[in-house]
Structure 1
Amino acid sequence: MKIKTKLMLLSLVLMNTVLYAQEEEKNPLKISGSVDTYYKYDFSGFESEDGTSNIGTSFADQQNSLSIGMIDLVLSQEIGRASFVGEVAFGPRNAGSAGPSGNSGVMEPHIQNLYVSYQITPELTATAGYMGTFVGYEVISPTGNFNYSTSYMFTNGPFQNAGIKLDYSFSERVSLMVGLFNDWNIYNDNNGMSDFGAQLYVVPVEGWDVYLNMITGFPSGTEFDLTTGYQITDDFYLGLNAADYSAPNDGGGFSGAALYAQYALTSNFALGFRGESFSTKDFDDETGSVVEGTTVNAFTISGNLTAGPLTFIPELRIDSGEESFFFDNDLMPSKSASQLLFAVVYAF
């Protein structure tokens, strides 16, 4: 009897092993990612000793040089209800160098995503780990953006959020995410998961996506964000990002809005326009309140010429501000700056 029982148990173990192996074979480990490189010329000729760009946004800050972006490697797998994503990037265009103006000397690998998910029910999914932020329109990877240079809102908002979240799908057109997170861009937070975040996703009509985002906590501050896009026709897409961030303990915050318009002229060439208005907030020590700072406007025209996995991006950008944030041809303070950029992105 004991031998028979052991044989039955062994059969069950072998059967489960075979079924699991078959499931793995159906859902193999996926490897994807991208590499990118660019050349940029700032018409002022400005080039600082520390690599600071004349236009103070993330990445692509090297003047008159063929420069690298990053190699981005993504591993992912889904077996049954469980899944994971692990993403690491090497090069200047990664979250480790994504502060204002970046730092093109930063070449260490940096984790972009590292999280696991479990589908509790068909409608409810739990995710824990280090995740690319749910806030904002633009992302770190150049494959996720039409423009190669980034907006001021992207540069000043969060890049990643570590924590745990729950996603609930009410229908194909409405879902809600809530979660507890560390402070922005931090793997380990001695302050604990002190931030609360939420995202409401709505599809008012077919082709129109709306994301209402919020994240708040101490000392991170509070940001409200609207990200929306409408595929008006097969060729014409219109997007909008608007955000308001208040951080009394960290200098004030910002507010801004950006319009994204893209039109496909052919099956492999499209033109895109980004117009952004970005305003800083200052903290008044005397009154203890947040007051309006200064404003900068940025206009970017980019082309996307694709050939299979390769995308060539010519880009012209012109920024102007209320104050002299930039430098002119004589390297004197100026209220405007312009640059021409050529980027190549390969996705795999």
Structure 2
Amino acid sequence: MKKITLLFSLFLSIYVSYSQESVGGIEISGSADAYWKYDFANGENIQTYFANDHNSISLGMLNLAIKKSTGKASFVGEVSFGPRGQYLTIPNGDGTDDNSFHIQNLYVDYAFSDKFSMTAGYMGTFIGLEVISPASNFHYSTSYLFGAGPFQNAGIKGTYAFSDKVSLMAGLFNDWNTYKDLNGVSHFGAQLNLAPIEGLSIYANFLTGTSAGGKDEYSSGTIYDLVASYEVSEKFSVGLNAADYTFKSEGGFQGVALYPKYNITDYAQIGARGEFYKTKDVGSDEGEEITSFTLTGKLSHGGLSFIPEVRFDSNDSMPFLKSDFTTSTKSASQFSLAVVYAF
């Protein structure tokens, strides 16, 4: 714990002493968040990542990142503290260790030219639209696609920009969400980035490999993932995330989520997330089909955001509970208020 305290004190002292974004060429950024959620069944019911506690003013996490560039080389280090950083982001997900922090990113990058660069280390995943940091998501609660993972990928990758409209990334990675791979470098991944017209971005992602333990114990898994965003106008934009994951011994999942958003003013936004998520059949066991609708508002001033949100989930397998918490039901709903400060 002394090492953790010293690390936290170092970050804090740097920021408090200088109170600016760059210190000697070191860029400092981060966020902090807290929330209150009320589930209308009067208990913890919707079990997606984050905003789990019922009728409690609860902490999210303190996220701190540093970046340093020297010539063509750069370094990024990012750690998080608190419940969201310790218990709800793998590999500290079991809560049985003594760590009070989680490494989100720890990697180096070298730009060989304006077109080609390579990155090595532990990185936030390139799969999916939503991320761990609440400051980078519009909605505070997360999608089922996000919860299915991956969260991070350790490995080495190269990115080549053919033009300002087309780039390709390819790399070798460990198993999902691990600092080290017990069966060797086991995954291959790639991302094709297209920007065919102004305001439109498309990311076609692919990741395949053998899970920790080796191919004799687990079969390979492959995920195809599509992320797209389009700014229809200055006021209105829409995002899309679709994925298909196959893991032979455990089925996998399919899902699609749509994210329309409208800017009412420079300081007020409203957006929705509609999601369909299905776990695949495993033998004679049928998978679950889940639909979810989330309506979110965001009021911002400077680095501070206030986020009210209402969410409705439905699952024909009836995994939710009514207010007596003994009767199963196929639907659940909740309301939350979150505050996020980013610097």
TM over 0.5: yes
Looking at structure 2, the residues matched to 67 and 95 of structure 1 have their Cα atoms a distance apart, in angstroms, of: 14
Decide whether the 8 Å contact of 1:27 with 1:77 is kept in 2. Answer: no
Looking at structure 2, the residues matched to 320 and 97 of structure 1 have their Cα atoms a distance apart, in angstroms, of: 23
Decide whether the 8 Å contact of 1:36 with 1:344 is kept in 2. Answer: yes
- Map 1:169-184; keep pairs closer than 5 Å: 169-184=161-176
Residue of structure 1 in register with 2:291 after alignment: 297
Paired residues in the alignment total 310
Residue of structure 2 in register with 1:326 after alignment: 320
Equivalent position SS for 2:287: strand
TM-score (norm 2): 0.87
Alignment partner of 1:201 is 2:193: yes
Looking at structure 2, the residues matched to 234 and 39 of structure 1 have their Cα atoms a distance apart, in angstroms, of: 32
The runs of at least 4 aligned residues of structure 1 exceeding 3 Å deviation read: 102-107
Decide whether the 8 Å contact of 1:92 with 1:105 is kept in 2. Answer: no
Residue of structure 1 in register with 2:306 after alignment: 312
* Alpha-carbon distance, 1:329 to partner: 1.5
* Alpha-carbon distance, 1:98 to partner: 3.4
Cα deviation digits, residues 116-148 of structure 1 (max 9, x gap): 000112111010000000000000000110000
- Alpha carbons of structure 1 residues 336 and 105: separation in structure 2 relative to 1, 3 Å: farther
Looking at structure 2, the residues matched to 239 and 122 of structure 1 have their Cα atoms a distance apart, in angstroms, of: 29
Equivalent position SS for 1:93: helix
Residue of structure 2 in register with 1:266 after alignment: 265
Looking at structure 2, the residues matched to 190 and 252 of structure 1 have their Cα atoms a distance apart, in angstroms, of: 23
* Alpha-carbon distance, 1:325 to partner: 1.1
Looking at structure 2, the residues matched to 323 and 259 of structure 1 have their Cα atoms a distance apart, in angstroms, of: 23
Looking at structure 1, the residues matched to 286 and 255 of structure 2 have their Cα atoms a distance apart, in angstroms, of: 12
Residue of structure 1 in register with 2:29 after alignment: 32
Looking at structure 1, the residues matched to 270 and 96 of structure 2 have their Cα atoms a distance apart, in angstroms, of: 31
* Alpha-carbon distance, 1:157 to partner: 1.6
* Alpha-carbon distance, 1:266 to partner: 1.1
- Map 1:12-161; keep pairs closer than 5 Å: 28-46=25-43, 53-94=44-85, 96-98=87-89, 108-161=100-153
* Alpha-carbon distance, 1:154 to partner: 0.2
Q: 1:335 aligns with which of 318, 326, 330?
A: 330
Decide whether the 8 Å contact of 2:86 with 2:101 is kept in 1. Answer: no
Looking at structure 1, the residues matched to 23 and 94 of structure 2 have their Cα atoms a distance apart, in angstroms, of: 42
* Alpha-carbon distance, 1:94 to partner: 2.5
Cα deviation digits, residues 202-221 of structure 1 (max 9, x gap): 00110100000000001261
Looking at structure 2, the residues matched to 98 and 294 of structure 1 have their Cα atoms a distance apart, in angstroms, of: 24
Residue of structure 2 in register with 1:276 after alignment: 275
Q: Percent identity?
A: 52
* Alpha-carbon distance, 1:95 to partner: 6.8
Looking at structure 2, the residues matched to 103 and 34 of structure 1 have their Cα atoms a distance apart, in angstroms, of: 24
Tell which structure's C-alpha radius of gyration is larger: 1
TM-score (norm 1): 0.86
Residue of structure 2 in register with 1:226 after alignment: 226
* Alpha-carbon distance, 1:327 to partner: 0.7
Cα deviation digits, residues 241-291 of structure 1 (max 9, x gap): 000001113x21100000001001111000000000000013217xxxxx8
Looking at structure 2, the residues matched to 79 and 345 of structure 1 have their Cα atoms a distance apart, in angstroms, of: 31
